[in-house]
Structure 1
Amino acid sequence: MEYAPQLNLGPSDAHKHVEVFLNTACPYCVNFFLAAHETLMPRVEAGDIRYTIKHYDKPKVRLLHGTIANLYIDYNQPEQAYMLLHTLFKTQQEWRTLSSSEIEKMMEQEYGCSEQRSTMNLSLDITKEALERSVTVVPTVFINGEKFSFESQAPVHDIAEALDKAID
C-alpha cells in the first residue's frame, strides 16, 4: 500500500526507499536523524535513494513539544522543511523543555514560521498510517517496505554504519 509522504527527498523511481517515522522532541530520534543525514543525503543527492521523513505526532506527553514545532513546518517547501528539521534536532536540548507557547514563539520569531493548516491534516494521515503499519515507537524505519530496528541509543556513527549495511 502506498501512503502519502510527509517529506519526500530524492527521486520517486530510486531503487531503494527509506522511510522513517520520527518526532523532533524524541531524544532517540536525534542520533538516527543525524546518522541518516550523514549516510543517506549523499545517496539521495546522487539519485540512488528516496528518503521519506514522517513526523509522527504520537500522542505521548514527552513528544508533545515536537508535535507543536511540527505544526509550523511547511512540507510544501521540502528543502526548507528538511533544514528546519535538521536545526530542530541539533538544538533539541535547548527547546524541548520550553512551554508550548514558548515553542510557538520560537518557531515564529526565530525561524520565521507560521502555523500550517496543511501540516495539521498531514499529521492525521501520518498517525493513521503509523497505526496501520504497527509503528509503536520512534524512530521506526522501513527500507523498501521492510521494517528495520536500530539501537536508538547508539552513537551516530554506529547508527550510520548499521543503516548503510541495511540499505546495501
Structure 2
Amino acid sequence: MKNRYSADIEYLTVGLDHAKVEVEAFVNLGCPYCQTFFEVVDEVLKPYADDGYIKLVLKHVDRTKSKLLRGTVANNYVDHDDPIEGYNTMKELFMTQDSWSDSFKDTINKCENDLGLPELKAQYDRGEEVLKDFNERGLRIVPTVFINGEQVDYKPKELSKDEVAELFKNKIEHLK
C-alpha cells in the first residue's frame, strides 16, 4: 500500500511495475462507456494483470458534465493508493452505476452509507494531475486507453461490450 499522506501522486495500479505490457486507461465512474470498458477490464485485462503480464493503470478523469460530475464526486471515495480496495470499489460503483449516478444525494448515499467509505481528500490533488495529463495529451473522451504508450483507436459508442473485449484481448495477445 502506498502512503496516502505523502505528496507523491500515485494512480490505481493493478499488476507488477515491471510487467511487459502497460495498459493505461482514463475513465470516469459516471460514464456509461467507461462502465462497459470496466467490465472488459475485469473480465479480460485483470486476469493478465493478476498473472503479471500487464500493469493496469486506471486514471479517473474528473469531469463536470451531468453524470460525469457525479462520477467525479464518487471518485473522492475510491482509495487509489490501495489497489485491491480501490479496484473493488471502482468495480462496485461501475456495476451499480445506474442506481447512484442520477443525483448527488444518491451518489453520496451509495459511497458513504451503502459502501461505508470515507471521503478522501488526497483525491483532489490526484484529480488535478490526471486532468492536467488528460488535457496535455489533447484527449477529449473517456474511456481513452493506451497500451505501451500507444493510444488504442476505438470508438466506445460504436462497439458492443463483446467487440470491446475482443479488441483488447487481441491487442494484448498480439504483444505476447
Q: 1:6–1:54: 8 Å Cα contact kept in structure 2? A: yes
Aligned positions of 1:79-118 closer than 5 A = 79-98=84-103, 100-118=104-122
Q: 2:37 aligns with which of 32, 35, 52?
A: 32
Q: 1:151 aligns with which of 152, 155, 158?
A: 155
TM-score, length basis structure 1: 0.92
Query: Structure 2: how far apart are the matches of 1:134 and 1:5?
Result: 21
Question: What is the number of equivalent residue pairs in this alignment?
Answer: 165
Query: Structure 1: how far apart are the matches of 2:101 and 2:147?
Result: 29
TM-score, length basis structure 2: 0.88
Query: Structure 1: how far apart are the matches of 2:168 and 2:40?
Result: 8
User: Is structure 2 residue 67 aligned with structure 1 residue 75?
Assistant: no
Q: 2:67 aligns with which of 55, 62, 79?
A: 62
Q: Secondary structure of 1:20's match?
A: strand
Query: Structure 2: how far apart are the matches of 1:14 and 1:155?
Result: 28
User: Is structure 2 residue 148 aligned with structure 1 residue 124?
Assistant: no
Query: Structure 1: how far apart are the matches of 2:43 and 2:109?
Result: 30
Q: 1:151–1:159: 8 Å Cα contact kept in structure 2? A: no
Q: Deviating runs (4+, > 4 A) in structure 1? A: none
Q: 2:99–2:106: 8 Å Cα contact kept in structure 1? A: no
CA RMSD of superposed structures (Å): 1.5
Q: Secondary structure of 1:58's match?
A: coil
Query: Structure 2: how far apart are the matches of 1:42 and 1:62?
Result: 29
Q: Tell me the residue number matched to 2:4.
A: none
User: Is structure 2 residue 85 aligned with structure 1 residue 51?
Assistant: no
> Where does the alignment leave 5 or more consecutive residues of structure 1 unmatched?
none
Q: 2:23 aligns with which of 18, 22, 27?
A: 18
> Where does the alignment leave 5 or more consecutive residues of structure 2 unmatched?
1-8
Q: Percent identity?
A: 34
Q: 2:11–2:81: 8 Å Cα contact kept in structure 1? A: no
Q: Which amino acid in the other structure matches residue 17 of structure 1?
A: E
C-alpha deviation, 1:9, in angstroms: 0.8
Q: Secondary structure of 2:141's match?
A: coil
